[in-house]
Structure 1
Amino acid sequence: YNPFFSDAGLYEEHSYLVFESFDQEEDFFRGHQGNYLTDISRVLTYTGKRYNVYDVMVMTLDPVVQREQIAIARARVQTLEGVSHQRRLNFDMSVKMLLQSLQDRERITKIQGLLNQLMTFLQDELSIITGAYDEMLSLDEVIDQELILFVSLNTNKNSKAVTALGRMLLQNMQLMIGRRYESEQERCRDNRPMVSVILDEFAPFAYSNFAQILQTARGTNTAFLFALQALPQLLTVGRGFRDDVSSAPNTNMLLRTKDEETAQYFLRASARVPQKRRTLTVQRTGVFEDKYEPVGFGSETDIKDTRAQDEHIKNLPVGQMEILMTENRLGTLHSHLHVRVPRQYRFPGLEPRIYPRLHAVSHVEGANLRFKDPEVVRRTGRLATRTGRMTWM
């Protein structure tokens, strides 16, 4: 999965989702770094070659390579068909900004935060996935071919890079849903396949704009299933984000929980319904010991109480859950479900194939950029000797 690759030519959107996945809210040069990454992506896109994180960093650090790629892209833009006058002006502006930044003696200092974040994707194992040029994963291809995509992200190992990669995938999915939502052909298409997205423990990968995806998902025939331990996990993004995500689902399933906020959320969602409260009158009797005996009359009071009960949802046995499910004719239904766990999960006729470990190779369609400035090569070589790390070459 190369986050900079887009078969639809959406290089600006992909450079944006890559930058936003870093979550650099406190960086003073955040705006400058985002624009710089977009300018680099625009130039590399017009060269006609596919590029990855390594190519972006080489072009960013090496002025010789940067000028060379600008010349290649400029010559290609002049002869490329289908490029509007405005897009050529945008390209010229990006080139102007890049060439002007080369005159700034603090150029690297201002974009150091961006370089530090990109370096997380140059780790040995992760770069095999994110540095590919071909045979890449496209979410549009997964949807169109009705495939099953399973992604396991372990935030306990290399949490910084894995978290950023998870956010990239979510933003890529949001971009795909947005494109399908604005497409009249997709929205009017008959027998559109239902797309099911299951997000288990997705709180570490959540970002503020993700709630917007829930507003347009229904228009693209996309269904989301969220699985969380407790609602406060979403507070890492913000209280408004938690409220937006928790209010979107039509169906809520709750296992045993001790979190008061999660329990109150389910109680409020179950709604208050009219009920009767019966009061029985008793009389105290006895001389040496007080006893209470009913006297045969009482009263009823109209009250409203939640359908789900607090003492029940906090004491559910294993394998039981409460469900709030919407029904078009009857409204919201409240049920108590007993789950029987099968001995094993198996898809009929599915023979799983284990593919060998991927190997990073360079292909002719890729940019394959390498350092050419002797000063940059000397500095990176000296740094590698001092730290014992692999050089850029």
Structure 2
Amino acid sequence: MDNHELKEELIAYSKEIGIDKIGFTTASPFSQLKNRLLRQQELGYQSGFEEPDIDKRVTPEMLLEGAQSIISIALAYPAKMTIRVESKKGERRGIFSRASWGLDYHHILRDRLTKLEEFIINKIPNAKLKSMVDTGELSDRAVAERAGIGWSGKNCSIITPEFGSYVYLGEMITNIPFEPDTPIEDNCGSCTKCLDACPTGALIQGGQINANRCISFLTQTKELIPDEFREKIGNRVYGCDSCQTACPINKGINFHFHEEMEPDPVVAKPLLKPILKLSNREFKKRFGSISGAWRGKKPIQRNAIIALAHFKDESAVPDLIDVLQTEASPVTRGTAAWALGKIGGETAYAALRKAKELETDIEVQSEIEKGLNFYNN
């Protein structure tokens, strides 16, 4: 079958199955990306979630023998909830980032890529294909940029002219030599609003990020959050949208194309105190379908505790004391101790003094001291 004809048929079919944008590029190595990744590694800016082998991240031929081209897809996700829930005193809520609203996007994009694979195999039975979403070796952003999906913004997101940066990305390596599309010109210009809006200064310069300072990364870790970032996290229980909401290109953008991406407002903006008491089974039942649950219950509980401290929610003191006295995880106990000191009050102080006498974990002891130190300032 003629490759040009197949490409046109794929573009038409992609619209039928709910792909909002599709682009094609060669499978040649991403040489410039390799240099950037090596520099990130030297500076210690990597998150640790990436594929450790940089050559695999930039060489499609290592992932699929005979690779000739890569198909990049983008799906637009909502930027605003159609139904909103508000925080009330004593009923404070956290927030999941927009990319975690609705059904886990990995499932959504894999569904679309699987359908594209089936379409291609039906036309060319001996075609070789390899699809990936987010957790694959390739950089979704680098592929999308070269395939003309959008330009790589200073906020380290792909920005599309149609949907801004509110898009999920996935790609498919193939041994079919499709004609490549033309990359889109960078339209960020001299704007630095995303850099200015980053709460922790994680965006070092346009297109470069120190992942270890990024709130989106920090909320996914399983350790104690470093002191300098705790107050910056606010009520975020997963992810961060500050660099996206600050982007002028994203102003007024809000697409609701895909029913499975629609957020349940009480999941996307959950009550904080109930999170502290969830069992693993209850957590999976409530949050298991969203991408923000991938690291499990403990990081979300830790982040919920920090959010309660952010609100200085005195009604949460009994719950936090219970966590401090009964929780097995030192990270969760320690964060609760810090939060009690942050919120303050005689009841919290008495609980911290008691915990100081009983606690045996060194890290938790340190957090108890931090909590008690709030009373001395």
TM-score (norm 2): 0.24
Q: Which has the larger radius of gyration?
A: 1
The structure with more strand, counted as a fraction of residues: 1
TM-score (norm 1): 0.23
Relative contact order: is structure 1 or structure 2 higher (C-alpha 8 Å, sep ≥ 6)?
2
